[in-house]
Amino acid sequence: MAGRGRASRSGVVALVLLLVSLVACGGPPAGGIGKVELQRILDGRSTAVLDRDRAAFLRTGALGWFENVRGVPLQSWSYRVTAVHGSGDEATADAELRYRILGYDNAPVTSGRTLDLSRRANGHWYVTSDKPAKKSAQQLWDQGAVTVVRGRHSLVLGTGQSSEALHSYADLADHAVPTVTGAWGTDWTGHVVLLVPGSVEGMAGLLGSPASQYRGIAAVTTGEVGGPPLAPADRIVVNPDAYALLGPVGKQVVITHETTHVATRAHTNPATPLWLSEGYADWIGYLRTDRTPAEAAPELARAVGDGDVPSRLPTDKDFGFGGDATTLAQAYESGWLACRLITERWGDERLGEFYRAVGDHKSRTGSVEDAMKKVLGTSLDDFTVQWRDYLRAQLG
């Protein structure tokens, strides 16, 4: 009996040591903050953001970007803690921010965030900084105070921009939306969100990429290709540096082009070649202008005039922002003229049907060929011959 008693006490000690080891490995850092406690703090922080409650926000930590986001019409805002690092009175944490803009986002936008934390003398933990995670893009309010302008069909959010300038973007977007709907149809939301940072560096920060990729690019549209109905609204992100160099017609063409990408997103997927998606967006962009083919396609006109007619439709690689500028320009111009050819030979409605038919394909292989046969009654080879003849006729 005595022997069993000693063995039993030894087993209890071993069990206690095992439990201590498990707590040290799987629980919160010794003396630090745990995920549950941090989640509670961030829940209070989220409520303060939605309520525009400055005092409540300060109780969770540094003011940071709070004032910058106050004007943004938010429907929801929440954090999910994914990891906590550190011990003692200092720590960092990884979290996922999820928010929705009222009236525009059908699902939350998600963004990785890194939080720096500190425990004060009163024992309470505070968020000392809340910034984009290493591989995550910035949000507009990370860059400064956000000014909000509402149009009939648009919401424009800007930093470092005057209200007058942002109203001009809203006017262009409000003109673009009916143009796009008239050409594409009504199977989209019929409104757009524009983000206008203070510079090309700000644009790059919002896209999480180097600024060098976007110099000379007036705007891009972000969104999930082939995204479901329950998805965040696409954002048209403007490069104000390049945009300022455009004339009135060019500015309208850019916003209408990007609005077209918003409208066609659900029918655009990996089966859709860039010559079609970009060409279609340019076709709608130029619809209400008086630009001639030679004026709208100067690089391609120069090549055709020199007898250098492209032998094929542009590949996706030709559209790379980091490649040759002339190749990029000719790729856009080629796609536009291909779509323009379809409307002149088969009609505007057939172009829309063709676009949707390509997007209905399960993969890139055969997508264009099958859609051309089904909708246009031709083959890719025959269409390419017609397109090359069209380039000579329009630009030669």
User: Domain 35-136, CATH 3.10.450.50 — does that match?
Assistant: yes
pLDDT-based confidence at 213, cuts 50/70/90?
A: confident
pLDDT of residue 229: 57
For residue 223, give every residue at least 6 positions away whose Cβ sits within 8 Å of its Cβ, in sequence order, or none: 231, 232, 233, 234, 235, 261, 262, 265
pLDDT of residue 371: 98
**Helix crossing, 248-264 with 163-184: angle to 10°?**
60
Q: What is the pLDDT of residues 362-389, one digit of tens each?
A: 999 999 999 999 999 999 999 999 999 9
pLDDT of residue 53: 98
pLDDT of residue 20: 37
Share of the chain above pLDDT 90, in %: 84
pLDDT of residue 232: 81
pLDDT of residue 21: 40
User: Which sign does the torsion angle of CA 12, 16, 21, 27 carry?
Assistant: positive
pLDDT at 13 over 50: no
Spell out the alpha helix ranges (H) of 194-305. 200-207, 240-243, 248-264, 274-285, 293-296, 298-305
Count CB neighbours of 61 within 10 A. Answer: 22
Q: What is the pLDDT of residues 293-314, one digit of tens each?
A: 999 999 999 999 999 999 999 9
Rounded-to-integer distance, Cα 162 and Cα 164, Å: 5
Q: What is the pLDDT of residues 64-109, one digit of tens each?
A: 999 999 999 999 999 999 999 988 999 999 999 999 999 999 999 9
Long-range CB pairs of 63-66, under 8 A, 24+ apart, other chains included: 64/127, 64/129, 64/130, 65/130, 65/141, 65/142
Q: Which one-letter DSSP state was computed for residue 87? A: -
Q: Which residue has the higher pLDDT, 154 or 20?
A: 154
Rounded-to-integer distance, Cα 141 and Cα 74, Å: 13
pLDDT-based confidence at 16, cuts 50/70/90?
A: very low
pLDDT-based confidence at 5, cuts 50/70/90?
A: very low
For residue 300, give every residue at least 6 positions away whose Cβ sits within 8 Å of its Cβ, in sequence order, or none: 310, 329, 330, 333, 334, 337, 391, 395
Q: What is the pLDDT of residues 120-162, one digit of tens each?
A: 999 999 999 999 999 999 999 999 999 999 999 999 999 999 9
Domain boundaries, the chain: 35-136, 139-267, 269-396
pLDDT-based confidence at 32, cuts 50/70/90?
A: confident
Is residue 328 classed as helix, strand or coil in its secondary structure?
Answer: helix
- Average pLDDT of span 273-284: 98
Q: What is the pLDDT of residues 328-355, one digit of tens each?
A: 999 999 999 999 999 999 999 999 999 9
User: Which sign does the torsion angle of CA 365, 368, 374, 378 carry?
Assistant: negative
CATH class of the region 139-267: alpha beta
pLDDT at 201 over 50: yes
Average pLDDT, the chain: 91
Q: Which residue has the higher pLDDT, 165 or 9?
A: 165
pLDDT-based confidence at 226, cuts 50/70/90?
A: low
pLDDT of residue 9: 38
pLDDT of residue 216: 87
Q: Which of 98, 105, 102 is nearest to 222 (CA)?
A: 105
Is residue 378 classed as helix, strand or coil in its secondary structure?
Answer: coil
pLDDT-based confidence at 6, cuts 50/70/90?
A: very low
Torsions phi, psi for 173 (to 5 deg): -65, -40
CATH class of the region 269-396: mainly alpha
Rounded-to-integer distance, Cα 307 and Cα 316, Å: 24
pTM of the predicted structure, to 2 decimals? 0.88
Q: Which residue has the higher pLDDT, 58 or 19?
A: 58
- Average pLDDT of span 224-230: 56
pLDDT of residue 320: 84
The token pair at 287 is 């619809």
